[in-house]
Amino acid sequence: MEFKDYYQTLDVPREATVQEIKKAFRKLARKYHPDVSKEPDAESRMQELNEAYAVLSDPEKRAAYDQLGRGHQPGEEFRPPPDWDAGFEFSGRGFSPSEEAAFSDFFSELFRQRGGGRAHYHTAGGEFHARGEDHHAKVLLDIEDAFEGATRQISLRAPRLDDQGRVVVDTRNLNVRIPKGVHEGQVIRLAGQGSPGIGGGPAGDLLLEVHFRPHPRYRPDGRDLHLTLPVTPWEAALGAVIPVQLPGGSLKVRIPEGAQSGRQLRVRGRGIPGTPAGDLLLEIQVLLPSAKDPKAKEIYETMARELAFDPRRDERA
């Protein structure tokens, strides 16, 4: 996927105001609109202009894009890092499927499924009332939070326009109760923490989508928990009962006799808590002592002489 420089597309500096971006878009749109343009690439250029304007005219999307785009050149191979937009608040305003379909893969990868909430309007006694928009944000948690539950202070960045029409980012801190058993992709709703209502209408909600920080040992998959389990050659060959440390405590796991690297053991109900709880999936990894150790080298040499073992016998059959 190629990185797109939306500022270059609209030929504006990165510090341009919203008014300057709108002016540049209108100027280029008059040149490339397919209904009036004689340029051979007018339709594709107009799609690029629409996409760039959709991002740079929206304070929320522009602030997130500015953070992502530092140091990248247009056209270079690019892949957004996981959860690159964690901590940014996005309003419920979104794009229809037909609008998103007209934009590039680059746009879809960054902003798909963003927002989409709708305000609710009603009148009472002749007065206009509207519920505030919901806001959406990703929040990064530790896998341990899913086992114990926790209260965490999170910082959210909420972009807005200042009096000069430039994007500024406000930060607000919230204390959020993380329920035990929370899992990847789950949404935590904070009532009344979205946009204020209109005419006395209720405020919208803040919807926090849970994501876990990468962990050196554990990999969540829904409520299941994956873990690589190193074992010695003799534990794998003879079988053993070994302790496994988990975020929610330790347990003892029986390694079957003759276990090989890559074999998976399933311990039901010992994954992320819930109703039902997930499973723990252990992938066995047989590790060998280094032959630099004189004793280990001596044992390996004895095995090489005395054991009639050929792991490649089937390949030559």
- β-sheet with 224-231: strand ranges across: 218-221, 224-231, 280-286, 264-267
pLDDT confidence of residue 99: 59
pTM for the whole structure: 0.76
Per residue in 272-300, pLDDT tens?
999 899 999 999 999 999 999 999 999 99
Phi then psi dihedrals of residue 219, to 5 deg: -130, 110
pLDDT confidence of residue 94: 59
Per residue in 93-123, pLDDT tens?
555 556 566 688 888 878 765 544 444 445 5
Say if CB 210 and CB 202 are below 8 A apart: no
Specify burial of residue 205 (Cβ count, 10 A radius: 0-12, 13-18, 19+): buried
Q: What is the mean pLDDT of residues 12-20?
A: 93
Phi then psi dihedrals of residue 249, to 5 deg: 125, -175
Helix 42-56 vs helix 59-69: crossing angle, to nearest 10: 100
Query: Closest by alpha carbon to 235, among 264, 208, 211, 255?
Result: 255
Match 């990248």 to its residue by tokens. Answer: 72
Quick check: 92 pLDDT over 90? no
Dihedral (Cα; 189, 191, 194, 198), 10-degree rounding: 150
pLDDT confidence of residue 117: 45
pLDDT confidence of residue 316: 57
d(CA 201, CA 120) in angstroms, rounded, equals 9
Tokens encoding 271? 């994954």
d(CA 29, CA 37) in angstroms, rounded, equals 9
Say if CB 246 and CB 272 are below 8 A apart: no
Phi then psi dihedrals of residue 11, to 5 deg: 55, 50
- Domain spans in the chain, listed from the N-terminal domain onward: 218-306
Bridge partner residues of 212 (DSSP): 141
- Omega prior to 311 cis, within 30 of 0: no
SS3 24: helix
Say if CB 172 and CB 154 are below 8 A apart: no
Per residue in 140-186, pLDDT tens?
999 999 998 989 999 998 888 888 888 888 999 999 999 999 999 99
CATH class of segment(s) 218-306: mainly beta
